[in-house]
Amino acid sequence: MTGTRTQSRRAMLGIAALVLLTAMLSVGLGARGVALADILSALQGQVETIGQAAVAARIPRTLMALLAGAALGLAGAAMQGVTRNPLADPGLLGVNAGAALAIVIGIAWFNIDSAALYIGTAVLGAGGAGIIVYLIAALGAGGATPLKLALSGAAVTAALVSFTTAVVLPRADIGGLVQSWLVGGVGGATFSQITPVLPALVLGGVIVLASPRRLNLLALGEEAATGLGESVAVARAMSAGGAILLCGATTAACGPIGFVGLVVPHACRAILGGDYRRVLPASALTGAALLTGADVLGRLVARPSEIDVGIVTALIGGPVFIWIVRRGRVAAL
C-alpha cells in the first residue's frame, strides 16, 4: 500500500513539474526569440522593447492554455467515468460543436455581446449536444457502446457544423467568425478574456473534483453502485453537469479543442491506476501540461507563423485514439 502511495505521489510531483516546465517554455519560447534578460524584466511588468512586449503577451496566453487544458482534461476524465466509455471526449461527443453552434446563434440572431452571455449560451449548447449524443447512443439494447457513441458523436457533430455554417454564411458581418469556430486556439488571449470564464471553470472544476467517490462507484457498474446506496442518476448528472460546464466555458473562450479530454485520462490511468481520487487531479494537471506544451510546439514548428493548438492536439490525439481502439479493450472500463 505505502509503496503505491509513494509511487503515485512521485508521479503527481512529476506531472506538476511538467506543468511548471511547459508554462516556463510557453512564456520563454515563441515565434520571436527573446533574450533571457528581456523575459525576466517582462515578467516584472516592463514592456519597453519588442521582446518584452512579446513576452508580456505570452503570459495571458499561457494562463489560458493552462486553464483550458486543465478544464478539458478534467472534463474528459469525468465523461469517461460517467459514460464508462474509453472513447468519451468533449470533441468526439459533439459537446464542443454544440457550444460553437449555440454561440454563433446567439451572436447572429440574439445579438449577445457580453462575455457572461457567451459562456451561458455555450454551456447550454454543450449540454444539449452532449445529452442528445449520449441518449441516441444509449437507445435500445446494448447501451452506449464505444462504437455507437463515436458514431452518434460524429453524426451530430457533422450536423452541428453544417448548421453553424448555415447560420453564419448569410451574415457577411460575422462571416470571419466561421474560421475561429472550426479550429480552436489560445493565440491572442488576453486577461480580459480569461476573467469572465474563471467562475464557470472554478465551479465546474469543484463539482468534478468533488466527485471521485461517485465515479469510483459508477465504475463498479450500475447495480453495484445502487447496492452501495448511491443514486446512479444523481451521480451521473452531477459529474456530467460539471464536465459540461467546463467544456462550454472552454469552448466559449478558445473555440473547439478536441482530443485533450480523450488522451489525458488514459495516460493518467496508465500511470496511476483506475482510482478517480488520483485520476481526476492528475488529469487536470496533465491536461494543462499537454495543452500548453502543444501550444508551444505549434508556435515553434511553423516559425515564423503559428499552428493553432486545436490542430496540434488533433494531430497528437488522433493516433492515440487509434491506439486505444487497436488495443481492443474498447468494451472494457
Residues forming contacts to another protein in the complex (CB under 8 A) are: 87, 91-92, 136-137, 139-142, 145-148, 150-152, 154-156, 158-159, 161-163, 165-166, 169-170, 175, 178-179, 182-183, 258-259, 305, 307-308, 310-311, 314-315, 317-319, 321-322, 325-326, 328, 330
> The cell 468533449 sits on which residue?
90
> Taking the CA atoms of the chain, what radius of gyration do you get in angstroms?
20
- Rounded to a whole number of angstroms, the minimum distance from the CB of residue 208 to another protein is 25
Nearer to another protein by Cβ, of 148 and 278: the residue is 148
- Rounded to a whole number of angstroms, the minimum distance from the CB of residue 134 to another protein is 12
- Rounded to a whole number of angstroms, the minimum distance from the CB of residue 133 to another protein is 9
- Rounded to a whole number of angstroms, the minimum distance from the CB of residue 12 to another protein is 29
- Rounded to a whole number of angstroms, the minimum distance from the CB of residue 70 to another protein is 22
Nearer to another protein by Cβ, of 52 and 80: the residue is 80
Q: Are 82 and 240 in contact (CB under 8 A)?
A: yes
Q: Are 255 and 291 in contact (CB under 8 A)?
A: no
Nearer to another protein by Cβ, of 234 and 301: the residue is 301
Q: Are 119 and 200 in contact (CB under 8 A)?
A: yes
Helix (H, G, I), strand (E, B) or coil at 66: helix
**112 grid coordinates:** 449577445
273 φ, ψ (degrees, to nearest 5): 85, 180
Nearer to another protein by Cβ, of 62 and 164: the residue is 164
304 preceded by a cis bond (ω within 30 of 0): yes
Quote the CA–CA distance of 291 and 69 in Å, as a whole number: 5
Q: Are 156 and 90 in contact (CB under 8 A)?
A: no
Nearer to another protein by Cβ, of 24 and 138: the residue is 138
- Rounded to a whole number of angstroms, the minimum distance from the CB of residue 98 to another protein is 13
The torsion region of residue 328 among left (phi > 0), alpha (psi -120 to 50) and beta comes to left
Nearer to another protein by Cβ, of 184 and 241: the residue is 184
Contacts of 274 (CB under 8 A, 6+ apart): 219
> The cell 502543444 sits on which residue?
294
Q: What share of the chain is helix, strand, coil (3-state, %, to 5)?
A: 75, 0, 25
- Rounded to a whole number of angstroms, the minimum distance from the CB of residue 93 to another protein is 12
- Rounded to a whole number of angstroms, the minimum distance from the CB of residue 55 to another protein is 25
Nearer to another protein by Cβ, of 50 and 302: the residue is 302
Burial classification of residue 41, based on how many CB atoms lie within 10 Å of its CB (0-12 exposed, 13-18 middle, 19 or more buried): middle
Contacts of 84 (CB under 8 A, 6+ apart): 218, 219, 333
Nearer to another protein by Cβ, of 53 and 267: the residue is 267
**For residue 186, which of 97, 250, 281 has the smallest C-alpha distance?**
250
Nearer to another protein by Cβ, of 29 and 315: the residue is 315
**Helix H segments across 95-231?**
95-110, 115-138, 146-168, 177-182, 191-209, 212-219, 222-227
- Rounded to a whole number of angstroms, the minimum distance from the CB of residue 62 to another protein is 22
